[in-house]
Structure 1
Amino acid sequence: MATNSVFVLDTTKKPLTPCSPARARALLQDGKAAVWRTVPFTIILKVAMPDAVVKPITIKIDPGSQTTGIALVDSDNRVVFAAELTHRGKTIKSALDSRRALRRSRRGRKTRYRAARFNNRVRAENWLPPSLQHRVDTTVTWVNRFRRWAGITEIAVERVKFDMQQMNNPDIAGAEYQQGTLAGYSVREYLLEKWHRKCAYCGVEHVPLQIEHIKPRAKGGTNNISNLTLACEPCNTRKGTKDITVFLKNKPDVLKRILAQVKRPLTDAAAVNATRNKLFVSLLETGLPVETGTGAQTKFNRARLDYPKAHWIDAACVGDSGETVTLNPDHKPLLIKAMGQGNRQTVRTDKYGFPCAKAKSTKTVLGFKTGDLISLIQPKGKYAGTYKGRITAIKTASNFLSLTVNKKQTWFSAKLATLIQPSDGYCYG
């Protein structure tokens, strides 16, 4: 099973070419290097190597509404590091919705009045809602982090490109221009995302799916995207040219779900579309050259190379350089999940919006805080053993902290813990 390479820093903290885990272990055992960071694993050399060759690395990004794929590709077009960054945009939106509901209810009852403030603020140019701005900020944050640990010289990101088809062939026209060299890939990818990669009629997964007309073309149906869905071959054959109301007359719940899903917009695609230009501009501000590619081109490269579907694999296949990228499908990417840096709410409220508790006066226990990565040795008792994980909560009164053991929150004394890596707002897996 392939694993990520280890980042290497020289004695002046400048990035060198990432090495294999075996090479990193040898350097650590010989005393030539020390651990600089645990996740992602990074070592720093104790002995200067002036003749070290630093290979240029391209960081490739496949932006997503919930998860963004990241791949580091060396000069040989080989993936040396992969990661999947999970955003917390839905959590942010939920918190803002809750705050707005509480303030609205407070204005409507005979309690402390809080005037509405939606007309006295000016939004900055190119403003994005916090849930969307978060996706841009976290992605750029990790680009800058990887620049500190690896010799990144270029960025490649999935984004709508210029009309290269017209530029390469000015005489192209008609259906040939409309379909293009990647005909079918954009529509199919859209339908796969909208229908969650399942058959719309029976819900089966992990089978070849066919594009199906909800209203058959034989009865006046069009190729409009609102008339298309996905179906497995048996369902598509059984439906034939039947009207969907006839085909699903014994399944009213399925019929109602499909008709509702047809009208529902693809929210994830809308989120990505709203942030793609802002992300592109933010990446340009890093000063590195930025290569762009379309989603259809990414899928075309992945399908032609016969790689499975994964966020980090899509990232590796972004752009023209994705046509010949080399990777191991069994490669285990680093899973990064944005957790935030704590809550700044000064007063806790109940479900009706009334104050019920004050915020904690301190967020640390014996120097530990929520989100820190620790190792812990419990000498005796029911949970005797050695544990390693992320602190999920603390109790300041009793100097206790909690870890997740067997999917259950378990409390331990903070005196037994040893800090591995301070909290940085992210959880790793």
Structure 2
Amino acid sequence: MSNFVFVLDANKQPLNPVPPGQVRRLLKQGQAAVFRRYPFTIILKYAVPNHRIKPHQLKIDPGSNTTGLAIIQGNKVVWGAEVKHRGQQIKNDLESRRAIRRNRRNRKTRYRKPRFLNRTRLSGWLPPSLQSRVENVMTWVHRLRRFVPITGISQELVKFDTQAMQNPEISGVEYQQGELAGYEVREYLLEKWGRKCAYCGATDTRLEVEHIVPRSKGGNNRVSNLALACHHCNQRKGNQDIRDFLSKKLDVMKRILAQAKQPLKDAAAVNSTRWALFSRLKETALPVETGTGGRTKYNRTRLGLPKTHWLDAACVGVVETLQVLTIQPLLIVAKGWGNRQMCTTNKYGFPIKHRTRCKTFFGFQTGDMVQAILPTGKFAGTHVGRLTVRESGVFEMRTPKGKISPVRYKYCKSIHRNDGYMYAFSSNVQQISN
């Protein structure tokens, strides 16, 4: 089952998404044409003045590396996508540029006095690597609103409910004794310990919450004293102190004690951008619903859905039931628009070649999604990917499976012009139980 297809009428007004089978009939009968390939959208050849619009909720699960998107029609999941960010790449590029510039200044301007630090930053400023996450999500919010009649937005605003995690033992308080408090703590620990046993590193097994300092020896239930352990390690440790249990594995003990106090880098990055994203979503003038990561996991576990970013997005907020009508989400990878650097340098900062001012060759531009049918060679066959163009007409192609080269221009057919993203569909189709 693929995503539902977006539909526009002749006046480019968004209508209700429809199943792929209905779209094939409209295209075959000549009543519609393909408007956009990613996300797949058709445009009708007639206006629909009194179309009954159904409410659609856009749900967002922001992540450090990947953000999940889902469109809900009533209780039906009709469209899903995962947006992979490039925040770490931006950070690495900025650090590389800074190193080159610093090296060059040291060689040529050692006589110059240090610059007075008089640069100011606007309120709410975010580093470029974090700001790109917000901009990616907002780009797709605006894009989807053009193709779907979105009536509301749901966002996972906070990953962990720290109020429910401070002291889960408080008695008589319904909020902290409720069924969500345990989900908040477990979700936090899964993120912090990488979903594996802290002692032996076992994965794909049932993990149990374990006290680093046993409660019988003065330990408490604060998350800084909690770790994840497999059943075997948890039973072996029992109520031993960690220093006794790992007396012969000092390196493991040192790592666990350091990691117990270490903050979550990814969680910190996400928490830094969540409120900025929330403020931007409020500017759309649509009602914005918020939820926590613990509630998202609770909904997903209760409904028996597998762990994926787009299904996590579908479970954000208050969810009673869900009927998943698609199991093949759109995979979106942020690639950027390139850079304006006209002179390419080596690793020492010395210029080695200059770029041409021409961006288009043989009708193609770097970043275009094309279909290439290669008749011979190592990569003979049909490939779909993102181009890197050259003046010679011998291109390279990046596909989800790797690099394809050489690709001559005469074998290429454009299917989607460069918009800063690369697209694919999930090859891992999991069976979803409703």
DSSP-derived class of the 1:411 partner: strand
C-alpha distance in 2 between matches for 1:383 and 1:279: 42
Please give the per-residue CA displacement for 1:166-200, whole angstroms capped at 9, x wherever unaligned.
Answer: 9xxxxx98644444452211111111011111111
RMSD of the alignment, in Å? 2.5
Deviation at 1:383, TM superposition (A): 4.2
Contact 2:158–2:271, Cα closer than 8 Å, also in 1: no
Residues 1:399 and 2:393 aligned together: yes
Q: Tell me which moved more, 231-240 or 400-409.
A: 400-409
Give, as a single letter, the amino acid of the residue that structure 2 aligns with 1:338.
A
Aligned length: 416
DSSP-derived class of the 1:204 partner: coil
C-alpha distance in 1 between matches for 2:115 and 2:280: 30
DSSP-derived class of the 1:133 partner: helix
Deviation at 1:58, TM superposition (A): 0.7
C-alpha distance in 1 between matches for 2:295 and 2:116: 42
The answer for the alignment partner of 1:4 in structure 2 is 3
Please give the per-residue CA displacement for 1:178-231, whole angstroms capped at 9, x wherever unaligned.
Answer: 444522111111110111111111222222211111122222222221211101
Deviation at 1:241, TM superposition (A): 1.5
C-alpha distance in 2 between matches for 1:112 and 1:372: 44
Deviation at 1:63, TM superposition (A): 0.9
Give, as a single letter, the amino acid of the residue that structure 1 aligns with 2:411.
L
Change (3 A) 1:350 1:179: farther
Deviation at 1:40, TM superposition (A): 1.3
Q: Please point out which of 395, 398, 423 is paired with 2:418.
A: 423
Q: Tell me which moved more, 369-378 or 350-359.
A: 350-359
C-alpha distance in 2 between matches for 1:18 and 1:112: 63
DSSP-derived class of the 1:134 partner: helix
Deviation at 1:133, TM superposition (A): 0.9
Change (3 A) 1:116 1:409: farther
DSSP-derived class of the 1:323 partner: coil
Q: Tell me which moved more, 100-109 or 284-293.
A: 100-109
Change (3 A) 1:350 1:6: same
Q: TM-score by structure 1 length? A: 0.90
Instruction: Give % identity.
Output: 57
Deviation at 1:297, TM superposition (A): 1.8
Q: Tell me which moved more, 400-409 or 305-314.
A: 400-409
C-alpha distance in 2 between matches for 1:113 and 1:19: 68
Change (3 A) 1:115 1:7: farther
Deviation at 1:116, TM superposition (A): 6.0
Contact 1:159–1:294, Cα closer than 8 Å, also in 2: yes
Change (3 A) 1:35 1:305: same
Change (3 A) 1:219 1:272: same
Structure 2 unmatched runs, 5+: 165-169, 425-434
Once the two structures are superposed, the pairs formed by residues 364-383 of structure 1 within 5 Å of their partners are 364-383=360-379
The answer for the alignment partner of 2:211 in structure 1 is 213
C-alpha distance in 2 between matches for 1:401 and 1:207: 46
Give, as a single letter, the amino acid of the residue that structure 1 aligns with 2:385.
G
The answer for the alignment partner of 1:348 in structure 2 is 344
Give, as a single letter, the amino acid of the residue that structure 2 aligns with 1:244.
I
Change (3 A) 1:111 1:146: same
Contact 1:35–1:42, Cα closer than 8 Å, also in 2: yes
DSSP-derived class of the 2:389 partner: strand
C-alpha distance in 2 between matches for 1:207 and 1:267: 25
The answer for the alignment partner of 1:56 in structure 2 is 55
Contact 1:107–1:113, Cα closer than 8 Å, also in 2: no
Change (3 A) 1:176 1:101: same
Q: Please point out which of 254, 257, 269 is paired with 2:255.
A: 257
Deviation at 1:425, TM superposition (A): 0.4
The answer for the alignment partner of 1:169 in structure 2 is none
The answer for the alignment partner of 1:247 in structure 2 is 245
The answer for the alignment partner of 1:325 in structure 2 is 322
C-alpha distance in 2 between matches for 1:60 and 1:303: 18
DSSP-derived class of the 1:39 partner: coil
Structure 1 unmatched runs, 5+: 167-171
Contact 1:103–1:114, Cα closer than 8 Å, also in 2: no
